[in-house]
């Protein structure tokens, strides 16, 4: 039986190792190889140095732990931002109702600057009678009212205008704990306060100073002045 191919390869390898001469690579070749390797490594941002040592396993563990902590911290901060934003879902509903009324051109179901026309219009449509006042003399003109839906119930929405700005006032009987805050949501200023047995939510793109002036008028007229609650966040600078 003839020799197998594997046996022939083994014999040839042994013969080469026994009889072949060895020649060290020239310095020029060594330098060229090192240069090529350095260029390739630099291209991927990992350029080696002559004395570079592998990073100890402990250092790799610390680096991995720091990266993991950063990921966890970023996630927690993102979640905290979401919680802060949704901590008062009623505020989000009020702003959404304001924006919706502007988008669908449904500001008023009853259009009138006369409070004695707007107030009776709500009769029979709600289980309460919302207070309606006109402050045209102070620069806040009543323009009408409509029905809206906030907090899983129908509510009265009173519409006022200040120059080119629309002010929506959502009002319903106070039940449970009163909401009291002054804040900003998505570019809209928002005030929640209570008085004379009613809860008010006031929202507009009008600047915060003038909106607070309006809220004071609203509650003075109601016979009980109620100051807005502490600012939930700092009033944005440069309000118009």
Q: How many CB atoms lie within 10 A of CB 212?
A: 19
Average pLDDT rounded to a whole number, residues 14-21? 58
Give the model confidence (pLDDT) of 42-57 as tens digits. Answer: 655 554 555 556 656 6
d(CA 47, CA 43): 8
HSE (side-chain half, CA atoms, 13 Å) at 49? 4
Instruction: Give residue limits of the domains in the chain.
Output: 57-87, 89-221
Give the model confidence (pLDDT) of 79-114 as tens digits. Answer: 444 433 445 788 999 999 999 998 877 889 999 999
Give the model confidence (pLDDT) of 162-217 as tens digits. Answer: 998 999 999 999 887 778 889 998 899 999 988 888 999 999 999 999 999 999 99
d(CA 137, CA 184): 27
pLDDT reported for residue 87:
59
Give the model confidence (pLDDT) of 23-40 as tens digits. Answer: 566 676 667 667 766 666
d(CA 100, CA 203): 12
- Mean residue pLDDT of the chain comes to 76
pLDDT reported for residue 46:
52
| DSSP secondary structure letter of residue 228 | P
18 CB-contact burial (10 Å; exposed 0-12 / middle 13-18 / buried 19+): exposed
Instruction: Report the CATH superfamily, name and number, of domain 89-221.
Output: MucB/RseB, C-terminal domain (3.30.200.100)
SS3 label, residue 116: helix
List Cα–Cα distances, 189 to 98, 164, 197, in angstroms: 11, 15, 23
Take residue 220 and report the two structure tokens written for it.
């003075």
Q: Which residue from 122, 117, 118 is spatially nearest to 154, judged by alpha carbons?
A: 122
d(CA 140, CA 214): 7
Helices 89-103 and 57-86, axial angle in degrees (round to 10): 60
């Amino acid at each position: 039986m003839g020799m197998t191919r594997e046996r022939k390869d083994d014999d040839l390898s042994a013969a080469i190792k026994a009889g072949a001469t060895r020649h060290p690579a020239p310095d020029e070749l060594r330098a060229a190889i090192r240069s090529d390797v350095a260029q390739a490594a630099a291209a991927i941002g990992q350029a080696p140095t002559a004395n570079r040592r592998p990073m100890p396993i402990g250092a790799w563990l610390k680096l991995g732990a720091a990266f993991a902590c950063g990921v966890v911290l970023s996630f927690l901060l993102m979640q905290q931002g979401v919680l802060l934003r949704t901590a008062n879902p009623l505020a989000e509903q009020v702003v959404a109702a304001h924006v919706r009324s502007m988008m669908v051109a449904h500001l008023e179901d009853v259009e009138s600057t006369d409070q004695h026309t707007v107030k009776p219009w709500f009769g029979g449509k709600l289980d309460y009678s919302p207070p309606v006042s006109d402050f045209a003399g102070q620069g806040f003109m009543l323009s009408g009212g409509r029905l809206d839906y906030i907090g899983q119930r129908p509510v009265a929405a009173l519409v006022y205008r200040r120059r080119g700005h629309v002010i929506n006032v959502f009002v319903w009987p106070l039940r449970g704990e009163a909401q009291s805050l002054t804040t900003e949501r998505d570019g809209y200023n928002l005030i929640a306060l209570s008085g004379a047995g009613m809860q008010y939510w006031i929202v507009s793109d009008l600047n915060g100073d003038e909106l607070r002036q309006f809220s004071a008028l609203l509650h003075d007229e109601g016979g009980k002045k109620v100051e807005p609650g502490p600012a939930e966040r700092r009033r944005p600078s440069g309000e118009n």
